[in-house]
Amino acid sequence: MRAIDVVGSAIGNSFRSRLRTTLTVLAIFIGAFTLTITNGLGTGINAYITDTVASIGASDVMTVTKVSADAKATGPQEYSPDQITSRAAAGPGSTTVAAITPADLTTIAAIDGVTSVEPSLSVTPDYVTTGTSKKYRLGLGSAVAGVHLQLAAGSQLDQKAAQLQIALPVSFVTPLGFTSSADAIGTTVQIGVSNPAGTVNVLNATVVAVSEASLGSSGNATANTALTQALYDASTSGLSTAQKESYSEAVVRFDPSSTDAQVTALKDHLTSAGFTGQTVADEIGTFKSVIDAIVLVLNAFAVIALLAASFGIVNTLLMSVQERTREIGLMKAMGMGAGRIFGLFSIEAAFIGFLGSAIGAGIAMIVGSVVSTALSGALFANLPGLTLIAFTPVSIITIILIVMAIAFLAGTLPAWRAARQDPIESLRYE
């Protein structure tokens, strides 16, 4: 028998007892549907996190802090005038780190694997206004070089430009009196920043972008290098050089093509020099692995559903082998090899698996898209860019193939039974 005829007959046979096949397909459908949805959740959320990583910082950037000499000691720590309470530090409470001085920057720059190092200037401006609008308090996101913003309008900040550029969050558009995000682009806003003496300096910055709110930019504006520097200078005016040039963090750039091992090596080098390096991926990675773990658990449930369904396949096919005993015997008598008989039944199983998984995945994709569209308009309206359930062709094909493989395995028992049937026994008259 030709292979194509084996496949054709197998498919034809699966339609012979429609009700039974339908019920089995339904069982697989449930498993495949669940698997597709849970995978889609994982894909959607992780894709969102990945996008957010790009909006938080470039992948070739590491935030470096200096380990305070007595950081390891427990109990009250002795005060040192060098210490800075890091404002950028995440998590509950703030971490006390030692200030990074120009000498430290030189040390860091010399470390193997560091392409460049810049101090991370942290500035807290007082307000922003268009001049005619009210003054609004303004948070400024740390201006990490290589930042990619998710834009509602405009273009990315030019970090090399001498022009003072700012990206405003979309929530500022209406309060500042712009009619739309696009309307804000190209206008000049005034930013007030006060120095330690209490004098407020006003700087003019050009709005080049309006950024969408996301996990990364949580309602903060973002400044380009020139504006950050100008704001920093304004906010530190009147301080001594030593005070000015003491930073809580530095930003290290490394070769973007570095492998994970190389990044780890770089971190180790930093650690032995008394610093701590953290990439954006480190910060976001924990979050991602939590999502992955949840998806894995959900997938496990889906796979359990599939395993249950595969017993349905075994049952269905055992019944049809039973029913078709005569036919199998006849085919064997007429010279059909055992291998082909095996193929006939196992392919039928795989086909049932294919039907269930293709329909399951298809409907899951429709349902998933509808649900995530509905949710992103309602529940997740403040997280634009989040597609809760996303599908990639690769994962859909993988799911279908996995289900088909499970179905095929389930089919091997009945198929093996059919294959080793004795034609004489099968044809014996009753």
In the complex, the residues that contact other proteins under the rule CB under 8 A are 1-2, 5, 9, 16, 326-327, 329-331, 333-337, 340, 423-424, 427, 429
Q: What is the secondary structure of 119-131 as a DSSP string?
A: EE------EEE-S
> What is the number of other CB atoms lying within 10 angstroms of the CB of residue 146?
15
Rounded to an integer, what distance in angstroms lies between the CA atom of residue 146 and that of residue 75? 39
Please, what is the minimum distance in Å from the beta carbon of residue 423 to other proteins?
A: 6
How far CA 16 is from CA of 11, 348, 389, 410, in Å, comes to 9, 11, 37, 19
- The tokens 């995978």 sit on which residue? 39
Please, what is the minimum distance in Å from the beta carbon of residue 4 to other proteins?
A: 9
Please, what is the minimum distance in Å from the beta carbon of residue 337 to other proteins?
A: 5
212 closest CA partner among 168, 251, 249, 162: 168
- In sign, the C-alpha dihedral spanning 110, 113, 117, 120 is negative
- The tokens 């992103």 sit on which residue? 376
Q: What angle do CA 386, 390, 393 make, to 5 degrees?
A: 145
Question: Which secondary-structure segment (H or E) carries 251?
Answer: strand 249-254
Q: Which is nearer to other proteins, 79 or 429 (CB)?
A: 429
400 closest CA partner among 355, 340, 343: 355
Q: What is the secondary structure of 3-52 as a DSSP string?
A: HHHHHHHHHHHHTTSHHHHHHHHHHHHHHHHHHHHHHHHHHHHHHHHHHH
Rounded to an integer, what distance in angstroms lies between the CA atom of residue 430 and that of residue 428? 7
Using left for φ > 0, alpha for ψ between -120 and 50, and beta otherwise, residue 328 falls in: alpha
Task: Give yes or no for a contact between 200 and 194, defined as CB atoms under 8 angstroms apart.
Answer: yes
Q: Give the residue ranges of DSSP H helices in 57-146.
A: 102-110
Rounded to an integer, what distance in angstroms lies between the CA atom of residue 221 and that of residue 137? 11
Q: Which is nearer to other proteins, 336 or 402 (CB)?
A: 336
Q: Which two tokens stand for residue 416?
A: 């093996």
Q: Which two tokens stand for residue 352?
A: 């049932």
Q: Which two tokens stand for residue 374?
A: 């509905």
Q: What angle do CA 256, 261, 263 make, to 5 degrees?
A: 45
